[in-house]
């Protein structure tokens, strides 16, 4: 006779699989863990792992992935797959998760977290275009990238969620969907609080691009989607439809410096884009997209309505500056003759362009 309910039996088997993988270091090998849970009652499932990829030439990627789901009652269904395939820089780390939860009349709730961080760096070999002698890798890195994506769900009474991430060749792609965007189905979406955060940085010689995006929504979230790609280019697409207080902020900054000792050209540029929205309730439908590489491109649409007892404050800013240096007369490589480039800060023209828009304290708005 089997003394354990079938749902609980599945949970125990899944827990053994997850516990066996905790704290492992994954390097250049095929690896996978699959989890299936279908039960009614309390649930606790977690995973934590570190992955490492290297091509043996000081070029490599490393990262961390962790997640946690807890309920104190209700109906819970989840499928999850974590895997690493291939080796060296051609390999990939993948995660997939589909989750449905309903507290029903039990008064239960769900807590959930997911976090992924990847870091990549590669050395630069400038021997072909340099006269200087020495270790060809004893120079600044050709590139370095660090990207993270996460969400946190608090006190969800109902939930339909799908997430997926993929880290490969120094690029992180992350996709999160709550509810069913673009449809009129009866999916529960999410009743509770959700926080999403994306942080990215990519650095190459003379250029640095950073992105920070954070959203907090509390209330009835009909749909929420986030798509992030961090590599040579940083891209974020976000859409949500909710009733309740929200606070979301996006900041993207780009810095470009050039000091060419052959042409004598010297300049430094900065570009910053920020957007911020706060509401005290009401109904908000929002889409925004920001991309940063050689330039920053941003688009945003906001539709806010309330019964007059709620309000919105929204702002958006864009600033670009440039400091240009005078050309140097010498065309000799600096590493041989030590040619001097004029000071950009003291003798160069300074240019700035900026734009901003905002609304505050209104009960309805279309931006």
CA distance 165 to 174: 4
Q: Is residue 229 helix, strand or coil?
A: strand
Q: Which of 277, 144, 269, 130 is nearest to 205 (CA)?
A: 144
CA distance 46 to 362: 43
pLDDT at residue 209, rounded to an integer: 93
pLDDT at residue 169, rounded to an integer: 80
Looking at the chain, the whole-number percentage of residues with pLDDT higher than 90 is: 53
pLDDT at residue 107, rounded to an integer: 87
- For residue 245, CA distances in Å to 47, 129, 161, 248 come to 31, 56, 21, 10
DSSP 124-173: ---GGG----S-TTSS--SEEEEEEEEEEEEEESEEEEEEEEEEETTEEE
pLDDT at residue 283, rounded to an integer: 94
CA distance 104 to 226: 27
Low-confidence ranges of the chain (pLDDT < 70): 1-29, 55-59, 86-91, 123-141, 180-187, 261-264, 326-348
pLDDT at residue 70, rounded to an integer: 96
pLDDT at residue 121, rounded to an integer: 81
DSSP 314-352: EEEEEEEEEEEEPPPS--S-HHHH-PPPPPHHHHS-EEE
**The pTM is what?**
0.81
């Amino acid at each position: 006779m089997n003394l354990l309910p079938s749902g609980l039996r599945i949970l125990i088997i899944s827990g053994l699989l997850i516990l066996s993988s905790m704290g492992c270091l994954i390097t250049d090998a095929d690896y996978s863990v699959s989890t299936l849970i279908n039960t009614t009652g309390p649930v606790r499932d977690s995973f934590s792992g570190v992955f490492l990829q290297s091509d043996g030439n000081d070029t490599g990627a490393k990262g961390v992935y962790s997640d946690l789901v807890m309920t104190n009652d209700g109906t819970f269904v989840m499928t999850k797959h974590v895997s690493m395939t291939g080796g060296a820089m051609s390999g990939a780390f993948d995660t997939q998760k589909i989750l449905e939860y309903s507290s029903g009349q039990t008064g239960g709730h769900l807590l959930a977290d997911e976090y992924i961080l990847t870091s990549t760096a590669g050395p630069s070999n400038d021997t072909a275009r340099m006269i200087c002698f020495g270790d060809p890798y004893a120079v600044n890195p050709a590139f370095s990238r660090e990207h993270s994506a996460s969400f946190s769900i608090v006190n969800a009474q109902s939930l339909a969620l799908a997430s997926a991430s993929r880290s490969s060749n120094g690029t992180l792609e992350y996709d999160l969907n709550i509810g069913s965007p673009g449809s009129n189905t009866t999916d529960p979406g999410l009743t509770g609080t959700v926080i999403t955060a994306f942080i990215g940085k990519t650095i190459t010689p003379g250029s640095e691009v950073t992105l920070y995006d954070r959203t907090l929504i509390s209330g009835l979230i009909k749909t929420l989607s986030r798509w992030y790609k961090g590599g040579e280019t940083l891209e974020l697409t976000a859409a949500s439809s909710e009733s309740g207080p929200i606070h979301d902020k996006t900041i993207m900054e780009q810095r470009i410096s050039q000091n060419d000792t052959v042409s004598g050209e010297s300049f430094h540029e900065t570009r910053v884009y920020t957007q911020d929205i706060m509401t005290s309730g009401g109904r908000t439908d929002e889409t925004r997209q920001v991309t940063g590489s050689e330039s920053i491109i941003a688009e945003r649409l906001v539709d806010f309505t309330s019964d007059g007892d709620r309000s919105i404050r929204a702002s958006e800013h864009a600033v670009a500056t440039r400091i240009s240096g005078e050309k140097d007369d010498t065309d000799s490589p600096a590493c041989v003759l030590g040619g001097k480039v004029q000071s950009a800060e003291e003798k160069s023209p300074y240019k700035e362009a900026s734009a901003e828009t905002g609304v505050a304290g209104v009960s309805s708005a279309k931006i």
